[in-house]
């Protein structure tokens, strides 16, 4: 392969790191927010509300912004979605509220609902006001496993209803993927922790970090000690390529590297000169763009199908491309080539759809140099973490099976978030799961 492996930290100047890992989309100031808010038609039976998994009353909160009733606007948002601040930053709005906005139909220019939502929620969080109160204590204790969006949304709703909640979290901090999994430039400046603090601020929620289900706590004990259990553990397992060379140094799981990046000073993170990312979802985009922003020269995403099949939204694909990432569609890796136990290249094969619609290789191959390879081909639920009670906790298509109330097959056990998701694993959907489960748990406990 000739040249030495080129993986280094500190490729950029401090100013470049600051710029690259600051907010990708700066917030609206009051003037811009008012202009944007004035574009909302205040629709009846608004399509944007229907497109929001948490059914935020969007016209109402935008009207609040327009009348300088920003606290009222924020409360409207948070009543429906306690993680409205994070969702304002990470939601793929172009396929949700903004995609449904009637101004998209009218002039292909939706009201910037995400940025307006951020304007309102930031205002409230920065004011330090706590708009929520708790109902009289019920004496019921509920265990929530996982302090991600699903778990925290569930815990918050239950705490408001007067229940006491203990949230168990495997990692050192709460926030789930908002803290560990989302690209740094989408939620910078410690936002995820501020939001966790705000959620806990309602009272009645005890967050115990560093406690893993199946290791430190067990489902059967939780069911015995608590009135109800909510499982929002996300997807702990990372899918593997199953290809020769996958064990080479320099081959990483994208989610692990992003988690590291989120907790570290970017300048301390080594990145390769040539980076290849395997996958087509938002995680692939996030790691590819962040690699570029860490100073990698050549970053290529290899995806086995076309642009329209990518899990990443069109907008995310554009972010990758405008950040200098090359997306190679219709290509799949066949082996990782190493030298001295370190990856040096990826051999890829062009793909196409066969006559039956099945994806097949063309035998036409090429090689890309790579000092680093990131695997971003999805995650999966790790059933063993559910404490050997798999027999009882029914799994369907690799996820915990729940009914419409998010109740699992186990008595007094509910679940939500990516651990049950059969769709796109969105933060906003996880919040909705937590909300629905909390409502069901409350009903169950109070009947």
Interface with other proteins by CB under 8 A: which residues? 34-35, 38, 41-47, 66, 102-103, 105-106
CB of 112: closest distance to other proteins in angstroms? 14
Eight-class DSSP state of 371: S
CB of 25: closest distance to other proteins in angstroms? 21
Q: Can you say how many angstroms the Cα of residue 210 is from the centroid of all Cα atoms in its chain?
A: 20
Nearer to other proteins, 38 or 130 (CB): 38
Nearer to other proteins, 38 or 352 (CB): 38
Cα–Cα nearest to 229, from 11, 379, 407, 42: 407
Rounded-to-integer distance, Cα 409 and Cα 415, Å = 10
DSSP H helices in 2-101: 14-20, 30-37, 47-51, 58-66, 70-80, 84-90, 97-100
Cα–Cα nearest to 50, from 106, 99, 88, 117: 99
Nearer to other proteins, 105 or 359 (CB): 105
Contact 220, 405 (CB under 8 A): no
Structure tokens at 428: 């906003």
Nearer to other proteins, 46 or 73 (CB): 46
Please compute, for residue 156, the number of CA atoms within 13 A of its CA located in the half-sphere on the CB side: 30
Rounded-to-integer distance, Cα 135 and Cα 203, Å = 11
CB of 401: closest distance to other proteins in angstroms? 26
CB of 402: closest distance to other proteins in angstroms? 24
Cα–Cα nearest to 26, from 182, 186, 195, 261: 186
CB of 94: closest distance to other proteins in angstroms? 17
Nearer to other proteins, 46 or 143 (CB): 46
Nearer to other proteins, 43 or 71 (CB): 43
CB of 158: closest distance to other proteins in angstroms? 33
Nearer to other proteins, 4 or 105 (CB): 105
CB of 74: closest distance to other proteins in angstroms? 21
How would you class 267 by CB atoms within 10 Å of its CB: exposed for 0-12, middle for 13-18, buried for 19 or more?
A: middle
Per DSSP, the residues of 158-176 read HHHTT-EEEEEESSSSSST
Nearer to other proteins, 51 or 320 (CB): 51
CB of 47: closest distance to other proteins in angstroms? 6
Nearer to other proteins, 44 or 189 (CB): 44
The residues, ordered by sequence, that sit 6+ positions from 354 with a Cβ below 8 Å of its Cβ are 360
Rounded-to-integer distance, Cα 19 and Cα 293, Å = 9
Cα–Cα nearest to 317, from 95, 115, 116, 22: 95
Structure tokens at 377: 């081909």
DSSP H or E segment with residue 126: helix 113-127
Nearer to other proteins, 36 or 425 (CB): 36
CB of 109: closest distance to other proteins in angstroms? 12
CA distances from 62 to 104, 118, 129 (A): 17, 11, 20
CB of 81: closest distance to other proteins in angstroms? 23
């Amino acid at each position: 392969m000739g040249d030495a492996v080129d993986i280094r930290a500190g490729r950029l100047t401090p100013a470049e790191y600051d710029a690259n890992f600051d907010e990708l989309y700066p917030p609206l100031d009051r003037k811009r927010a008012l202009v944007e808010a004035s574009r909302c038609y205040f629709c009846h039976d608004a399509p944007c509300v229907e497109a929001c998994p948490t059914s935020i009353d969007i016209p109402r909160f935008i009207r609040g912004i327009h009348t300088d009733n920003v606290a009222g606007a924020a409360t409207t948002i948070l009543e429906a979605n306690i993680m409205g601040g994070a969702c304002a930053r990470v939601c793929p709005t172009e396929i949700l509220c903004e995609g449904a906005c009637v101004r998209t139909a009218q002039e292909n220019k939706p009201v910037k609902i995400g940025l307006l939502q951020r304007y309102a929620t930031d205002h409230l969080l920065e004011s330090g006001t706590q708009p929520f109160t708790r109902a009289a204590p019920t004496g019921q204790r509920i265990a929530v496993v996982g302090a991600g969006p699903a778990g925290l949304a569930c815990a918050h709703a239950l705490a408001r209803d007067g229940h006491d909640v203990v949230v168990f979290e495997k990692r050192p901090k709460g926030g789930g993927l908002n803290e560990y999994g989302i690209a740094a430039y989408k939620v910078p400046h410690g936002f995820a922790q501020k939001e966790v603090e705000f959620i806990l601020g309602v009272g009645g929620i005890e967050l115990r970090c560093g406690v893993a289900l199946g290791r430190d706590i067990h489902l059967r004990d939780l069911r015995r000690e608590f009135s109800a259990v909510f499982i929002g553990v996300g997807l702990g397992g990372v899918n593997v390529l199953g290809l020769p060379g996958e064990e080479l140094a320099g081959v990483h799981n994208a989610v692990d590297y992003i988690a590291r990046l989120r907790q570290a000073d970017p300048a301390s993170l080594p990145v390769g000169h040539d980076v290849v990312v395997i996958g087509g979802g938002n995680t692939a985009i996030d790691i590819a763009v962040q690699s570029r922003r860490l100073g990698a020269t050549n970053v290529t995403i290899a995806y086995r199908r076309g642009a329209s099949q990518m899990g990443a939204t069109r907008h995310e694909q554009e972010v990758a491309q405008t950040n200098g990432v090359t997306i190679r569609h219709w290509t799949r890796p066949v082996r990782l080539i190493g030298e001295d136990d370190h990856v040096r290249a990826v051999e890829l094969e062009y793909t196409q759809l066969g006559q039956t619609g099945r994806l097949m290789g063309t035998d036409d191959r090429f090689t890309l140099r790579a000092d680093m390879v990131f695997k971003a081909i999805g995650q999966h639920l790790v059933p063993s973490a559910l404490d050997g009670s798999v027999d009882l906790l029914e799994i369907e298509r690799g996820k915990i099976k729940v009914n419409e109330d998010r109740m699992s097959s186990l008595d007094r056990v509910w679940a939500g978030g990516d651990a049950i998701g059969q769709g796109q694993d969105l933060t906003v959907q996880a919040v909705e799961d937590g909300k629905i489960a909390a409502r069901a748990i409350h009903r169950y406990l109070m009947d």
